[in-house]
Amino acid sequence: MSEKIVVPALGESITEATVAKWLKNTGDSVDADEPIVELETDKVNLEVPSPITGVLTEINSKDGSVVEVGALLGSVSENGSGVKPSTTKNEEVKKQEIEHSENNVIKLDPIKKEPKVFEETLKVEEQSEKPLVLSDEVIDQGPTINNTQSQTLSPAVRKIVAENKIDLATVQGSGKDGRVLKGDLISMMGANPKPSERKIQYGQEERIKMTRLRQTIAKRLKQAQENAALLTTFNEVDMTNIMQMRKENQEDFQSRYNIKLGFMSFFVKACVVALKNFPAVNAEIDGDEIIYKNYYNISFAVGTDKGLVVPVLRNADELSFADIEKNIKEISEKAKDGKLVIEDLQGGTFTISNGGVYGSMLSTPILNLPQSGVLGMHNIVDRPVVVDGEIKIRPIMYLALSYDHRIIDGKESVSFLKMIKENLEEPRRLFLDI
């Protein structure tokens, strides 16, 4: 009995995918529901499982081919019938080793003995013995300068030659009678930089096809710039109180919930409070209508090897600090392992992007359409600030709010960001929902 492997339904508005790689080869045994091939879509990568336990008998779509929903990828047989014979590497090696067979005796190539280094070393030592040098220092024998050269070279030139082990025979002197000058050595050392390793390995240029995910990222970012009236407002946050609260409660929090208390939970809570007070930031435009959303699904950007993905933390207003930290950790690990599904990326109402983990000081984040707002977090740096008339050093983070000016006015955007700032600088307000 043989079962076909077909492209499953890929989610809303996705009709085709690219075969990223086969996880099994023809002739390999597979178990039911075991991942057998990986597909790449516009949003996520997904693994197609084997329908039955058996042997992969046929591969119809090779790596890199574009397939539509329902297309045939391959087939699995219960008994392995129909497997095309393939020559394994071991068989090829055996064929190379066997020269010929005569009277049922297999003649093999004679084993080539590797030369014994120690034997050669002994012979060299016997031929010429070197005098024993009674010194604690190892003398580095660099290029030697004969007496004639030493007389014509300046002290500065001799020093450069000795330190950099330069062979004077390779240097074209520009002085009188071809005398090597200091400038000749400096020019030679600076004029011959080594090419980069990538240039050596891949040549002058590389041309690599963009992945579907990268193509989608580029398309959506361009759409955001073209279709929305983008504007960014900035503010700064004194992180002293949050850092102090984390320090005082980190041990108890971790022992109770088995997870560290990070900054993201504070920012998510602060954003939810501000979104409730400024509903336009949590809304979107649909044609000539505004859709106000009374739920708070916070998208957060995660950088992966394959590109930027923005999974969703659902119903953030109903989650505790511990729940937020656990969910963010779980979703982030799924993103980095390529285990996200379409549902993990849909339904967000507001986005948080943390460029600070990479050292960003300031940025203007781009909207994640159809959302109307995105908050940019940045790195925390000790800066001098005025507190109660005195200059003090405080850990400061710059915040950036990019928003769609078609739906959000300047007063709303500035007030929204100011409320986030106030709740972060006085984190106890978050527990009072004010």
Q: Which two tokens stand for residue 221?
A: 């970012």
Contacts (Cβ under 8 Å, ≥6 apart) of 20:
38, 39, 40, 45, 63
409 is catalytic: yes
Contacts (Cβ under 8 Å, ≥6 apart) of 200:
none
Annotated catalytic residue: which of 28, 317, 323, 405? Answer: 405
Which candidate, 368, 411, 377, places its Cα nearest to that of 230?
A: 368
Q: Which two tokens stand for residue 186?
A: 């400096």
What does the buried/exposed string (b/e) look like for 140-166 if buried means 16 or more CB atoms within 10 Å of the residue's CB? Answer: eeeeebeeeeeeebeeebeebbeeeeb
Annotated catalytic residue: which of 33, 167, 409, 433? Answer: 409
Question: What's the rounded Cα separation, in Å, for the pair 168 and 153?
Answer: 11
Alpha carbon distances (Å) from 345 to 40, 59, 336, 390: 15, 30, 14, 47
- Mapping DSSP to helix (H, G, I), strand (E, B) and coil, where does residue 384 land? strand
Instruction: Give the largest Cα separation in the chain, rounded.
Output: 103
3-state percent helix, strand, coil for the chain, nearest multiple of 5 = 35, 25, 40
How many other CB atoms are there within 10 angstroms of residue 138's CB atom? 7
Which candidate, 385, 316, 307, 322, places its Cα nearest to that of 352?
A: 316
Identify the residue whose tokens are 């398309």: 219
Q: Are 233 and 414 in contact (CB under 8 A)?
A: yes
378 is catalytic: no
How many other CB atoms are there within 10 angstroms of residue 262's CB atom? 15
Residues noted as catalytic:
405, 409
